[in-house]
Amino acid sequence: MLLLIQYTLIFASVLILVALGGCFSEHSGVINIGLEGIMVMGALGGALMLKFVPATVPAIVMIVLVIAAAVLVGMLYSLLLAVAAINFKADQTLAGTALNLLGTAAAVVIVRAINMAESKDNVSSTITYIESKKAFLVRIGGFEFNWFMLIAAVALVVSYIVLYKTKFGLRLRACGEHPQAADSVGINVYKMRYAGVLISGMLGGLGGIVYITAGVSEWKFENGVAGFGFLALAVMIFGQWKPVNIGFAALLFGLFRALSNVYTGFPALVALKLPSTIYNMLPYIISLVVLAFTSGKSRAPKAEGIPYDKGQR
């Protein structure tokens, strides 16, 4: 049972961070379908830091450096979406899809190039971080606490405060609901949308490194992040673009994802004799079912996905 809780919390942490990223972007008026690609690039930045920083450095230094690398790479990669969607008014869905396709491909090329530079015989897209990963883990009895769990909880609280208790949050949400009205009172819609996309890149990149370090000590970048970016979008929609609801939705989806890791420890589930692939599919099946029954009542920001034209009223 402890193992189920452990995996549920770590997978929920990933979903919370990435879904919150999508939440900020869409509240600003930009649909971020590219969260999958942003996760991969953030994971790449963090994984390279885990690979090259000596495992002997103090744990707090390792944590700060890895988080900084994942956040920075995620934000830089999200700039591609911001420029395309805000400056060039490109179709946001197509731009996000392009980010997803490019992210995994670019990560594979970069990792293979690094591995080949170290050894001509090593052409894999795998990065190993067995010792470095230990900086994030604290053993509490039979429970393995991961500092990312705390970071996700803090991000949830901070996101709620920022969106609903600050002037910045009010302005951001105004740009996603009625940008022309926001502009009429002196709010720079372009800057606010850039801020929303960059925050989504920051949180998406952080979610990427959390995902690839959850339960494993190496990652093959050809696998991307197994659709977790899209699952985070489902969590965001199910949570109605509200941080508190997103937290509860992430726990639900995280539970079903965790079952694929620990179902062998439950005799009742083993007795069903279901293939392991069924448990791997569960969170995605559940997301389809949940969205089929709830998406009709969901209320997205009114101006999301609509390029802002300053001259339009």
Are 82 and 198 in contact by the 8 Å Cβ rule? The answer is: yes
Exposed/middle/buried for residue 170 (C-beta within 10 Å: 0-12, 13-18, 19+): middle
User: Can you tell me the distance from the alpha carbon of 273 to that of 110, in angstroms, rounded to the nearest whole number?
Assistant: 41
Q: Is the pTM of this model over 0.85?
A: yes
User: Can you tell me the distance from the alpha carbon of 50 to that of 243, in angstroms, rounded to the nearest whole number?
Assistant: 30
DSSP state of 87: I
Are 256 and 283 in contact by the 8 Å Cβ rule? The answer is: yes
pLDDT in tens, the chain (313 residues): 788 999 999 999 999 999 999 999 999 999 999 999 999 999 999 999 999 999 999 999 999 999 999 999 999 999 999 999 999 999 999 999 999 999 999 999 999 999 999 888 778 999 999 999 999 999 988 899 999 999 999 999 999 999 999 999 999 999 999 999 999 999 999 999 999 999 999 999 999 999 999 988 999 999 999 899 999 999 999 999 999 999 999 999 999 999 888 888 888 888 888 888 888 888 889 888 888 887 777 888 999 999 998 766 5
Structure tokens at 189: 């819609």
User: Can you tell me the distance from the alpha carbon of 147 to that of 108, in angstroms, rounded to the nearest whole number?
Assistant: 27
Q: What pLDDT, on the 0 to 100 scale, is given for residue 313?
A: 59
User: Can you tell me the distance from the alpha carbon of 98 to that of 96, in angstroms, rounded to the nearest whole number?
Assistant: 5
Q: What pLDDT, on the 0 to 100 scale, is given for residue 247?
A: 97
Place of tokens 């009010």: 170
Where residue 90 falls (left for φ over 0; alpha for ψ -120 to 50; beta otherwise) is beta
Q: What pLDDT, on the 0 to 100 scale, is given for residue 312?
A: 67
Position 154, amino acid: V
- Nearest CA to 175 among 28, 62, 16? 28
The secondary element (H helix, E strand) that includes residue 79 is helix 59-82
Each domain of the chain, given as residue ranges in start order, spans: 2-228
Structure tokens at 115: 């591995």
- Nearest CA to 169 among 151, 190, 195? 195
> What ranges make up the beta strands (E) of 50-179?
126-128, 137-140, 143-146
Q: What is the dihedral of CA 152, 156, 162, 165, to 10 degrees?
A: -150
